Amino acid sequence: MTDKTEKADGMSDPDGRQLVKELGTGKVAKALRRPQANVSNWLKRGVPRADRPLVAQLAERHGREIPQGFLPKLPEAGFE
């Protein structure tokens, strides 16, 4: 059985809860210079959008794959 943040393929974690759990809240808090209590709350609420690029960089440095939908993307059309 999968939790609500994960699809059967295991790659869907759009709010980054599982990613932070895998990296470790202490490691993420230290790297981002945030209180560990705040980062621990991300396991329940998800990573704030403002912190997602930094968490993504940290994940890449530690060989973790960025979950699909974690980082926002520009629309395909509309800015021409």
Q: Which residue has the tokens 């470790």?
A: 24
Residue 43: predicted pLDDT: 96
Long-range pairs of 43-52 with CB within 8 A, sequence gap ≥ 24:
43/17, 44/17, 45/15, 46/14, 46/15, 46/16, 46/17, 47/15, 47/16, 47/17, 47/19, 47/20, 52/16
Model's pTM, two decimal places?
Answer: 0.76
Tens of pLDDT, residues 21-62: 999 999 999 999 999 999 999 999 999 999 999 999 999 999
**CA distances, 6 to each of 26, 27, 42, 72, 80 (Å):** 23, 23, 16, 18, 35
User: Does position 80 have pLDDT exceeding 90, yes or no?
Assistant: no
- pLDDT score recorded for residue 13: 85
User: Per-domain residue ranges for the chain?
Assistant: 17-61
Q: Is the pLDDT of residue 69 over 80?
A: yes
